[in-house]
Structure 1
Amino acid sequence: MVYYSSDKAKGALAALEEKKWKAIEELEKTMILVKGGCYQMGDTFGDGYEDEKPVHEVCIADFYIGKYEVTQTQWFAIMGDNPSEFNGCDNCPVENVSWVDVQDFINKLNNSPLTKGDRGLYRLPTEAEWEYAARSGGKKEKYAGSNSIGSVGWSGCYAKTHPVGQKKPNGLGLYDMSGNVWEWVQDYYDKNYYKNSPRNNPSGPNSGYERKGVVRGGSGSYPIHSSRSAKRQWYHHFTRRSDVGFRCARTP
């Protein structure tokens, strides 16, 4: 067993706190303000699945969302571990994290004395916020920023994740909302939710059968069709997969 002097222990603790501060600072600097508005949510191209129907109008209030998916470096700084299967790539998205794991990350982030309090608490985006942001503020875009996947997302034939921000951003300056990894959102999954969704700031059903949670955006290992902005997918809240990560949101 190795014993450290008091000064060395303090130095190690200070180094950890510095890493945490840098991670939080990076998250703060890369939160993008999305101005609210109304848009047509769902299968606007007519090539989707039943749970993407009916197309319906949704109105969203202003919110912040991460420019990038949360990275392995940022996760490690807050949580002290890196669960990612494709680790060794600090700037790749963290993956292999469940919805429950992500809530733990967000709670630790919000409870850190280093987190600034001049805006609302960190959280996951709602499904409606996520799609509005992916569509560059509600535009009719098949993928996040384009009607073709090649320039904006890693999808269809990639067996690993890629560093965030390597493809082109969408119209709001957001990267990798199509492909790379699926992204957890806050909502429970209900295949029929769109039939009864409220118009203003929908936050999903109050509960979900077997704790199913929504993921959005597709991944590199899924077919290109799964990276459409309208595509809905679900996993159980405790599911961990090497192609599922997340990005943060925040209320102004």
Structure 2
Amino acid sequence: MKNKWLGFACLLPLLSGCNDANSSISASSDTVSKQQIDTIITNINKLYPDASTELKQNALNTAVRAIENLVFVKGGSFEMGDFGSPCEIPSVTRNRIDWSPDVKCLASFSSVETGANKVHKVTLDSYSMSAYETSFMDMEWMRQINGLPVADNKWDGYHIIKGEVIERDSEDYEYLLTRRKNQSAGTKNWHQAKDYCQWLGNLTALPFDLPTEAQWEYAARNRGEKRYYSTNNGYLQYRNGQYFNPNTGYYINYTDDEVNAGTGLENNLGKWPANPLGIYGMSNNISEWTNDWYSPDYYQGSPELNPQGPKSGEEKVMRDGKGSMTIDRVNKPIKRDSYYPSSSFRCSLQQKTPATIVNP
């Protein structure tokens, strides 16, 4: 995992001079100020006075890491929606498309159904986006300190046991940690994603939240460029994949060094190269919750400045997902019966300035 993990020089109680001398937890960071860390420590002690030192320390580490992993996205204007594609793709694969002003076909098969075919101008203020989807372990630390059960299904062979939870002192839990530790957090519903981001906000006193749909697309498309996939080069390049070069008349195979995507779920966050903004996993087969209610008609009358989605609805917008382009919209009910490892989220920071301050 390529996250910038916390340094451990100041994690032991005996070395708590790095922060508030009256606290049993502490942390250091190259990018998050001592004042910000002290704020987090104060809020943890206030919100969870009876929690163990270990739980408080894990919460502190998670909150500081969340700030460290933020990528500042400078605001601007872009044309949101399905910006089209060539009707005949020269590379003979939808995974490798180049946009040109004379495109005449829609890029996505679902754009008419979801309303993404209504291209419209959007102007966004600056904000920050997490470079990574929320990890299973970061979600686990939040759930532990809040007395919530493990966010995953209990299985009996190939069948989910409804109504039962995984006990944290069980073999099932130990197996789950080895399998899911560095993967994205699966969710059962939208509220779990929303609650996690707002929990970060409570600890940090910063406006953490889910990104809006417009913020998600703007970041995935490298500040609104006409990119079909949110990879390092705008293409999906699978292992053993190939494309047709019309200039030579030959098919070209991707080398191992050129692979930038997989056909399944990532087993480690940050496994594939980031997009040009430095954000990972926005084309990794995992659907991500956004803050917006879903309506196929919303793009028809969406406001230009910082659209927030419809005021109400029955489903929420998810973005990315298996084989999805950066313009694809997915609608999901906010409540479901089981956890889905392919339904995750990342948090954003809803302020116009960067969150991190380099320590003096």
TM-score by length of 1: 0.84
- The separation in 1 between residues aligned to 2:198 and 2:282, in whole angstroms, is 23
- The separation in 2 between residues aligned to 1:242 and 1:38, in whole angstroms, is 33
- The separation in 1 between residues aligned to 2:331 and 2:181, in whole angstroms, is 27
In the alignment, residue 236 of structure 2 is paired with which amino acid? I
- The separation in 1 between residues aligned to 2:212 and 2:50, in whole angstroms, is 40
Please point out which of 317, 324, 335 is paired with 1:214: 317
Please point out which of 337, 345, 358 is paired with 1:246: 345
Please point out which of 131, 135, 153 is paired with 2:217: 131
Aligned-residue offset at 1:12: 8.0
Which structure: larger Rg? Answer: 2
Tell me the equivalent position of 1:89.
Answer: 180
Tell me the equivalent position of 2:333.
Answer: 236
Gaps spanning 5+ residues in structure 1: where? 1-9
Any idea what the Cα deviations from partners look like across 1:71-116, whole Å, max 9, x if unmatched? 011101111244245753212100133101122223332223xx2x
- The separation in 1 between residues aligned to 2:260 and 2:281, in whole angstroms, is 7
Any idea what the Cα deviations from partners look like across 1:109-162, whole Å, max 9, x if unmatched? 2223xx2x3xx41100000000000001111100013332124443xx42x442
- The separation in 1 between residues aligned to 2:83 and 2:320, in whole angstroms, is 16
- The separation in 2 between residues aligned to 1:104 and 1:11, in whole angstroms, is 21
Query: More deviation in 171-180 or 122-131?
Result: 171-180
Q: What root-mean-square deviation, in Å, do the aligned CA atoms of Structure 1 and Structure 2 show?
A: 2.0
Query: More deviation in 102-111 or 126-135?
Result: 102-111
- The separation in 2 between residues aligned to 1:131 and 1:55, in whole angstroms, is 13
Tell me the equivalent position of 1:4.
Answer: none
Q: Check whether the contact 1:153–1:180 (CA below 8 A) recurs between aligned residues.
A: no
In the alignment, residue 98 of structure 1 is paired with which amino acid? N
Gaps spanning 5+ residues in structure 2: where? 1-48, 85-105, 154-175, 238-258, 352-360
In the alignment, residue 230 of structure 2 is paired with which amino acid? A
TM-score by length of 2: 0.60
Residue identity (%): 28
Please point out which of 279, 283, 295 is paired with 1:178: 283
- The separation in 1 between residues aligned to 2:225 and 2:281, in whole angstroms, is 17
- The separation in 2 between residues aligned to 1:127 and 1:28, in whole angstroms, is 21
Q: 1:11 to 1:59 in 2, by over 3 A?
A: closer
- The separation in 2 between residues aligned to 1:152 and 1:141, in whole angstroms, is 15
Whether 1:64 aligns to 2:155 is no
Query: More deviation in 14-23 or 95-104?
Result: 95-104
Aligned-residue offset at 1:60: 0.7
- The separation in 2 between residues aligned to 1:167 and 1:47, in whole angstroms, is 24
Tell me the equivalent position of 2:235.
Answer: 148
Tell me the equivalent position of 2:250.
Answer: none
> Which contiguous aligned blocks of 4+ residues in structure 1 show a shift greater than 3 angstroms?
84-87, 151-154
